[in-house]
Amino acid sequence: VILEQCTPYTDIMGRMNNMSYQETVYYYLYDPHKGYDQIRNNKSSFLSKFEKKDQKSVRRLLRKNGIRFSGENDLVRAWELICTTGLETEKFKH
């Protein structure tokens, strides 16, 4: 749960507020050399974990398999796809 700024509203007590608590989920990738690394559920955050020269091939692989990062399942599918093709060991940044 995080506290985020939102549009102003009046609560039950009549006070004006502009902050609300929102539920959020954090995702992490584990690297034996660096430990846990936080990742957002979108394509740019996922691609940023790879070296610049390798991002093009990862992007192509995601596109050919129809992964759009619209939910948690797509993030899991993307990582499993990278693991099955063997790209995670040679292309993941250390």
pTM across the whole model: 0.69
- Is a pLDDT exceeding 60 seen at residue 90? no
Closest CA relative to residue 58, chosen from 46, 69, 68, 70:
46
CA distance 65 to 63: 5
Give me the percent of the chain exceeding a pLDDT of 70: 93
Mean pLDDT of the chain: 87
- Spell 61-93 as b/e; 16+ CB within 10 A means b: ebeeeebebeeeebbebbbebbeeeebbeebbe
The predicted structure's pLDDT at residue 93: 55
**pLDDT confidence tier of residue 7, bands split at 50, 70 and 90:** very high
What DSSP character marks residue 8? E
| Average pLDDT value for residue range 34-62 | 89
**Cα angle value 41/45/47 (rounded, 5°):** 120
Task: Select the more confidently predicted residue: 67 or 29.
Answer: 67
